[in-house]
Amino acid sequence: ADAAGMTASLAAGKVVTLPSVGLFADGAAVRTIGSETFRVCEKYVDGMVTVDTDQLCNAIKLAYNDARVILEPAGALAVAGLKKFTEENNITGQTFVAITSGANMDFNRLRVVSERADDSERTVQITIPETPGSFRLMYSKIWP
């Protein structure tokens, strides 16, 4: 969602320049899309699906669990978008193909992917005072 230059350009009907882009899917993160790419997409693309970083991480995990391949974030965009599209439109029982690419993944980024891929858990960071009973008090607030 933080590098959706094509989505913004198609909505505006012209190539636009984003004020900034996120770098997680750095292979697709450009502030200004190419004019030829825009021309082709404007003519042939019916719609765009925008995903966030957590959805990208989940797509990387899905690809690994399904095919034992580790996609780079930009390469997982098709999987993330397809998953979001089918879920939002309640589509089941059909076959779809997501074209993936890329292997620009290092262990630091893979750690981030692993932490963000599963939306059933959340990380919470808090600071408690170094006094007797403070941990018990904090615990009673989250698990009464």
CA pair distance 117, 144, nearest whole angstrom? 29
pLDDT at 81 over 80: yes
Entry pTM: 0.73
Average pLDDT over residues 79-99: 95
pLDDT at 122 (0 to 100) = 64
Chain segment 36-45, per-residue pLDDT in tens:
999 999 999 9
Chain segment 14-73, per-residue pLDDT in tens:
999 999 998 888 888 899 999 999 999 999 999 999 999 999 999 999 998 888 888 999
pLDDT at 121 (0 to 100) = 61
Q: What is the secondary structure of 11-50 as a DSSP string?
A: HHTS--B-S---STTTTT--SB--HHHHHHHHHH------
pLDDT at 55 (0 to 100) = 93
